[in-house]
Chain A
Amino acid sequence: AQSVTQLDSQVPVFEEAPVELRCNYSSSVSVYLFWYVQYPNQGLQLLLKYLSGSTLVKGINGFEAEFNKSQTSFHLRKPSVHISDTAEYFCAAGTGNQFYFGTGTSLTVIP
Chain B
Amino acid sequence: KAGVTQTPRYLIKTRGQQVTLSCSPISGHRSVSWYQQTPGQGLQFLFEYFSETQRNKGNFPGRFSGRQFSNSRSEMNVSTLELGDSALYLCASSWSAVEAYNEQFFGPGTRLTVL
Interface residues, chain A, CB within 8 Å of chain B? 31-32, 36, 41-46, 49, 51, 90, 92, 94-104
B→A interface (CB under 8 Å)? 4, 33, 35, 40-45, 48, 55-56, 90, 92, 97-101, 103-104, 106-109
Chain A residues with Cβ below 8 Å from B45 are: 98-100
Interface pairs (11), CB distance under 8 Å = A43-B106, A45-B106, A46-B104, A51-B100, A94-B99, A94-B100, A96-B99, A99-B104, A101-B35, A103-B41, A103-B42
Complex contact A101–B48 (CB within 8 A): no
| A3 CB to nearest B CB, Å | 11
Which single member of A32, A36, A43 contacts B107 (CB below 8 Å)? A43
Chain A nearest Cβ from B24, distance in angstroms: 13
Contacts of B44 in A (CB 8 A): 101
Specify which of B4, B40, B55, B90 is in contact with A97 (CB 8 Å cutoff).
Answer: B55
Q: Which residues of A contact B98 (CB under 8 A)?
A: 94, 97-99
Knowing A31-B100, A32-B100, A98-B56 are in contact, say whether A44-B106 is a contact too (CB < 8 A). yes
Q: How far is the CB of A102 from chain B (nearest CB, A)?
A: 6
For A101, the closest partner residue in chain B by CB is B43
Q: How far is the CA of A45 from the CA of B107 in the complex (A)?
A: 9
Residues of chain B within 8 A of A51, CB atoms compared:
100-101
Residue of A nearest to B4 (CB): A43
A104 contacts across to B, CB distance below 8 A: 42-43
